[in-house]
Protein backbone atom coordinates (compact mmCIF):
# COMPACT_ATOMS: atom_id res chain seq x y z
CA UNK A 1 0.00 0.00 0.00
CA UNK A 2 1.31 3.44 -0.90
CA UNK A 3 2.57 5.47 2.04
CA UNK A 4 1.02 8.78 2.99
CA UNK A 5 3.56 10.85 1.10
CA UNK A 6 2.53 9.21 -2.15
CA UNK A 7 -1.14 9.64 -1.23
CA UNK A 8 -0.56 13.36 -0.66
CA UNK A 9 1.45 13.73 -3.86
CA UNK A 10 -1.38 12.23 -5.88
CA UNK A 11 -3.91 14.38 -4.05
CA UNK A 12 -2.09 17.61 -4.84
CA UNK A 13 -1.65 16.66 -8.51
CA UNK A 14 -5.32 15.85 -8.94
CA UNK A 15 -6.65 18.92 -7.13
CA UNK A 16 -4.22 21.32 -8.82
CA UNK A 17 -6.23 21.38 -12.05
CA UNK A 18 -9.64 22.05 -10.48
CA UNK A 19 -11.38 25.38 -11.02
CA UNK A 20 -14.21 26.90 -8.98
CA UNK A 21 -16.73 29.62 -9.65
CA UNK A 22 -18.01 32.44 -7.48
CA UNK A 23 -18.03 33.10 -4.59
CA UNK A 24 -14.48 31.67 -4.64
CA UNK A 25 -11.92 34.43 -5.23
CA UNK A 26 -8.70 32.69 -4.12
CA UNK A 27 -7.66 29.08 -3.65
CA UNK A 28 -4.65 28.23 -1.51
CA UNK A 29 -3.01 24.84 -2.02
CA UNK A 30 -0.60 24.28 0.89
CA UNK A 31 0.36 20.85 -0.45
CA UNK A 32 2.16 22.86 -3.15
CA UNK A 33 3.72 25.90 -1.47
CA UNK A 34 3.99 24.35 2.03
CA UNK A 35 4.97 20.88 0.85
CA UNK A 36 8.19 20.69 2.90
CA UNK A 37 6.57 20.93 6.35
CA UNK A 38 3.62 18.83 5.20
CA UNK A 39 5.94 16.06 4.06
CA UNK A 40 7.85 16.21 7.33
CA UNK A 41 4.57 15.81 9.19
CA UNK A 42 3.65 12.73 7.15
CA UNK A 43 7.08 11.14 7.37
CA UNK A 44 7.50 11.76 11.08
CA UNK A 45 4.02 10.91 12.30
CA UNK A 46 2.18 9.04 9.53
CA UNK A 47 3.54 5.52 9.92
CA UNK A 48 0.73 3.01 10.41
CA UNK A 49 -1.23 1.45 11.86
CA UNK A 50 -3.21 3.79 14.13
CA UNK A 51 -6.23 3.17 16.33
CA UNK A 52 -7.95 6.45 15.53
CA UNK A 53 -7.95 8.58 12.40
CA UNK A 54 -9.09 12.14 13.02
CA UNK A 55 -10.38 13.90 9.90
CA UNK A 56 -10.59 17.68 9.62
CA UNK A 57 -12.45 19.62 6.95
CA UNK A 58 -9.85 21.69 5.05
CA UNK A 59 -7.00 24.15 5.76
CA UNK A 60 -7.79 27.33 7.65
CA UNK A 61 -6.15 30.58 6.51
CA UNK A 62 -4.16 30.89 9.76
CA UNK A 63 -3.48 27.20 10.27
CA UNK A 64 -2.59 24.64 7.61
CA UNK A 65 -2.50 27.42 5.02
CA UNK A 66 0.51 28.78 6.91
CA UNK A 67 2.25 25.62 8.13
CA UNK A 68 1.14 22.75 5.87
CA UNK A 69 -0.03 20.78 8.92
CA UNK A 70 -3.69 20.03 9.75
CA UNK A 71 -5.02 22.34 12.48
CA UNK A 72 -1.62 23.94 12.00
CA UNK A 73 -1.33 26.65 14.64
CA UNK A 74 2.19 28.01 14.10
CA UNK A 75 3.26 27.95 17.74
CA UNK A 76 2.17 24.38 18.46
CA UNK A 77 3.34 22.97 15.13
CA UNK A 78 6.79 24.46 15.67
CA UNK A 79 7.22 24.10 19.43
CA UNK A 80 5.23 20.95 20.23
CA UNK A 81 5.13 18.91 17.02
CA UNK A 82 8.70 19.99 16.25
CA UNK A 83 8.02 20.78 12.61
CA UNK A 84 9.35 23.85 10.84
CA UNK A 85 10.41 24.25 7.22
CA UNK A 86 10.43 26.91 4.50
CA UNK A 87 7.00 27.86 3.15
CA UNK A 88 6.43 29.55 -0.19
CA UNK A 89 3.50 31.66 -1.34
CA UNK A 90 0.27 30.82 -3.16
CA UNK A 91 0.17 31.64 -6.85
CA UNK A 92 -2.74 34.03 -6.25
CA UNK A 93 -2.62 35.49 -2.75
CA UNK A 94 -5.45 37.43 -1.16
CA UNK A 95 -4.16 40.78 0.17
CA UNK A 96 -6.03 40.25 3.45
CA UNK A 97 -4.73 36.71 3.93
CA UNK A 98 -0.97 36.77 3.32
CA UNK A 99 0.96 33.55 3.76
CA UNK A 100 3.88 34.21 6.10
CA UNK A 101 4.56 30.59 7.00
CA UNK A 102 6.25 30.11 10.35
CA UNK A 103 6.81 33.86 10.59
CA UNK A 104 3.09 34.38 11.04
CA UNK A 105 2.37 35.83 14.45
CA UNK A 106 -1.34 35.06 14.39
CA UNK A 107 -2.67 32.11 16.38
CA UNK A 108 -5.08 29.65 14.79
CA UNK A 109 -7.75 29.10 17.43
CA UNK A 110 -9.01 25.74 16.16
CA UNK A 111 -5.46 24.43 15.93
CA UNK A 112 -4.48 25.83 19.32
CA UNK A 113 -7.46 24.05 20.85
CA UNK A 114 -6.97 20.72 19.07
CA UNK A 115 -3.21 20.36 19.50
CA UNK A 116 -3.47 21.95 22.94
CA UNK A 117 -5.89 19.18 23.88
CA UNK A 118 -3.51 16.56 22.48
CA UNK A 119 -0.61 18.03 24.46
CA UNK A 120 -2.66 18.09 27.66
CA UNK A 121 -3.94 14.55 27.17
CA UNK A 122 -0.78 12.83 25.89
CA UNK A 123 2.05 15.16 26.96
CA UNK A 124 4.26 14.30 23.97
CA UNK A 125 3.60 14.10 20.21
CA UNK A 126 4.99 10.58 20.06
CA UNK A 127 2.46 9.41 22.66
CA UNK A 128 -0.41 10.95 20.69
CA UNK A 129 0.72 9.64 17.32
CA UNK A 130 1.22 6.13 18.61
CA UNK A 131 -2.55 6.08 18.97
CA UNK A 132 -3.87 8.49 16.35
CA UNK A 133 -3.28 10.51 13.20
CA UNK A 134 -4.84 13.70 11.81
CA UNK A 135 -5.70 14.18 8.14
CA UNK A 136 -7.59 17.01 6.45
CA UNK A 137 -10.27 15.72 4.08
CA UNK A 138 -9.80 18.54 1.55
CA UNK A 139 -6.31 19.98 0.97
CA UNK A 140 -7.48 23.35 -0.39
CA UNK A 141 -8.32 26.61 1.38
CA UNK A 142 -11.00 28.77 -0.26
CA UNK A 143 -11.62 32.48 0.21
CA UNK A 144 -14.31 34.85 -0.92
CA UNK A 145 -13.53 38.23 -2.45
CA UNK A 146 -13.42 39.95 0.94
CA UNK A 147 -11.10 37.31 2.38
CA UNK A 148 -13.74 35.37 4.26
CA UNK A 149 -13.10 31.63 4.59
CA UNK A 150 -15.38 29.49 2.41
CA UNK A 151 -16.15 25.90 3.39
CA UNK A 152 -16.01 23.13 0.76
CA UNK A 153 -19.72 22.34 0.96
CA UNK A 154 -20.49 25.81 -0.45
CA UNK A 155 -18.34 25.48 -3.57
CA UNK A 156 -19.70 26.17 -7.03
CA UNK A 157 -20.35 24.88 -9.60
CA UNK A 158 -21.75 21.62 -8.27
CA UNK A 159 -19.80 19.56 -10.80
CA UNK A 160 -16.49 20.98 -9.57
CA UNK A 161 -17.48 20.37 -5.96
CA UNK A 162 -18.44 16.78 -6.68
CA UNK A 163 -15.23 16.17 -8.59
CA UNK A 164 -13.22 17.57 -5.67
CA UNK A 165 -15.10 15.37 -3.22
CA UNK A 166 -14.50 12.27 -5.36
CA UNK A 167 -10.75 12.99 -5.33
CA UNK A 168 -10.74 13.62 -1.59
CA UNK A 169 -12.81 10.47 -0.93
CA UNK A 170 -10.23 8.41 -2.78
CA UNK A 171 -7.36 9.96 -0.83
CA UNK A 172 -9.10 9.42 2.51
CA UNK A 173 -9.75 5.79 1.60
CA UNK A 174 -6.04 5.36 0.84
CA UNK A 175 -5.10 6.94 4.18
CA UNK A 176 -7.49 4.60 6.01
CA UNK A 177 -6.10 1.59 4.15
CA UNK A 178 -2.57 2.62 5.17
CA UNK A 179 -3.35 3.33 8.84
CA UNK A 180 -6.04 0.64 9.37
CA UNK A 181 -7.84 2.53 12.16
CA UNK A 182 -10.54 0.92 14.25
CA UNK A 183 -12.30 4.31 14.48
CA UNK A 184 -12.52 7.33 12.18
CA UNK A 185 -13.61 10.57 13.82
CA UNK A 186 -14.70 13.56 11.78
CA UNK A 187 -13.88 16.85 13.48
CA UNK A 188 -17.19 18.53 12.74
CA UNK A 189 -20.29 17.17 11.04
CA UNK A 190 -19.07 17.73 7.47
CA UNK A 191 -15.91 15.67 8.01
CA UNK A 192 -17.89 12.98 9.79
CA UNK A 193 -20.35 12.71 6.91
CA UNK A 194 -17.56 12.48 4.32
CA UNK A 195 -15.68 9.88 6.38
CA UNK A 196 -18.63 7.57 7.02
CA UNK A 197 -18.64 5.71 3.66
CA UNK A 198 -14.88 5.19 3.91
CA UNK A 199 -15.23 3.83 7.44
CA UNK A 200 -17.96 1.43 6.34
CA UNK A 201 -15.78 0.04 3.57
CA UNK A 202 -12.80 -0.52 5.83
CA UNK A 203 -14.80 -1.87 8.77
CA UNK A 204 -14.06 1.02 11.16
CA UNK A 205 -16.66 2.62 13.34
CA UNK A 206 -17.28 6.27 12.58
CA UNK A 207 -18.73 9.37 14.15
CA UNK A 208 -18.20 13.09 14.49
CA UNK A 209 -16.94 15.23 17.34
CA UNK A 210 -17.45 18.96 17.83
CA UNK A 211 -15.17 21.22 15.82
CA UNK A 212 -12.98 23.55 17.92
CA UNK A 213 -13.72 26.59 15.74
CA UNK A 214 -14.45 29.81 17.65
CA UNK A 215 -17.38 30.27 15.23
CA UNK A 216 -19.15 27.55 17.22
CA UNK A 217 -20.76 28.86 20.45
CA UNK A 218 -20.59 25.34 21.85
CA UNK A 219 -16.84 25.14 21.27
CA UNK A 220 -16.36 28.34 23.22
CA UNK A 221 -17.81 26.76 26.34
CA UNK A 222 -15.07 24.34 27.31
CA UNK A 223 -14.26 22.51 24.07
CA UNK A 224 -11.86 20.00 25.63
CA UNK A 225 -14.51 18.48 27.87
CA UNK A 226 -17.11 18.43 25.10
CA UNK A 227 -14.65 16.79 22.72
CA UNK A 228 -13.64 14.12 25.21
CA UNK A 229 -17.29 13.34 25.94
CA UNK A 230 -17.88 12.82 22.21
CA UNK A 231 -14.88 10.46 22.04
CA UNK A 232 -16.21 8.44 24.97
CA UNK A 233 -19.56 8.17 23.22
CA UNK A 234 -17.69 6.68 20.25
CA UNK A 235 -16.02 4.12 22.53
CA UNK A 236 -12.58 5.73 22.45
CA UNK A 237 -11.24 5.14 25.94
CA UNK A 238 -8.40 7.55 26.59
CA UNK A 239 -9.44 8.57 30.09
CA UNK A 240 -6.41 8.63 32.35
CA UNK A 241 -3.81 9.02 29.61
CA UNK A 242 -2.83 12.53 30.71
CA UNK A 243 -2.44 11.49 34.30
CA UNK A 244 -0.27 8.58 33.22
CA UNK A 245 1.92 10.84 31.10
CA UNK A 246 1.38 8.75 27.99
CA UNK A 247 -1.00 6.43 26.20
CA UNK A 248 -2.97 4.31 28.60
CA UNK A 249 -4.50 0.90 28.25
CA UNK A 250 -7.88 2.04 26.99
CA UNK A 251 -8.63 0.88 23.47
CA UNK A 252 -10.11 2.87 20.61
pLDDT of residue 244: 39
CB atoms within 10 A of CB 32: 18
122: helix, strand or coil: helix
pLDDT of residue 241: 55
CATH number among 3.40.50.970, 3.40.470.10, 3.90.320.10, 3.30.300.30, domain 4-234: 3.40.470.10
* Pairing mode, strands 141-143 and 26-28: antiparallel
Picking from 111, 85, 88, the residue whose alpha carbon sits closest to that of residue 100 is 88
pLDDT of residue 2: 54
* Digit-coded pLDDT (tens) for 90-148: 999 999 999 999 999 999 999 999 999 999 999 999 999 999 999 999 999 999 999 99
pLDDT of residue 243: 40
Distance, in Å, from the CA atom of 125 to the CA atom of 146, rounded to the nearest integer, reads: 36
* Digit-coded pLDDT (tens) for 24-67: 999 999 999 999 999 999 999 999 899 999 999 999 999 999 99
* Digit-coded pLDDT (tens) for 149-190: 999 999 999 999 999 999 999 999 999 999 999 999 999 999
pLDDT of residue 218: 86
Phi-psi region of 107 (alpha: psi -120 to 50; beta: other; left: phi over 0): beta
Distance, in Å, from the CA atom of 81 to the CA atom of 76, rounded to the nearest integer, reads: 6
Question: Residue 9: is it exposed, middle or buried by C-beta count within 10 angstroms (0-12/13-18/19+)?
Answer: middle
pLDDT of residue 48: 82
pLDDT confidence band for 238 (50 / 70 / 90): confident
Q: Helices then strands (H, E): number in the chain?
A: 11, 7
Are the CB atoms for 92 and 27 separated by under 8 Å? yes
pLDDT at 248 over 70: no
Amino acid sequence: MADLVRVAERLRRRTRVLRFGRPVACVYAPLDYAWKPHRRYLERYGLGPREVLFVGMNPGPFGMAQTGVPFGDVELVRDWLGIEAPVGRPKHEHPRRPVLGFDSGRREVSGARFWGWARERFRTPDAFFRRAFVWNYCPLCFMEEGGRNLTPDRLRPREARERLFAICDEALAAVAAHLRPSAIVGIGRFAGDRARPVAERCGARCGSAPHPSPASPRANRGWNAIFEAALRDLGIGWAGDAAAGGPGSGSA
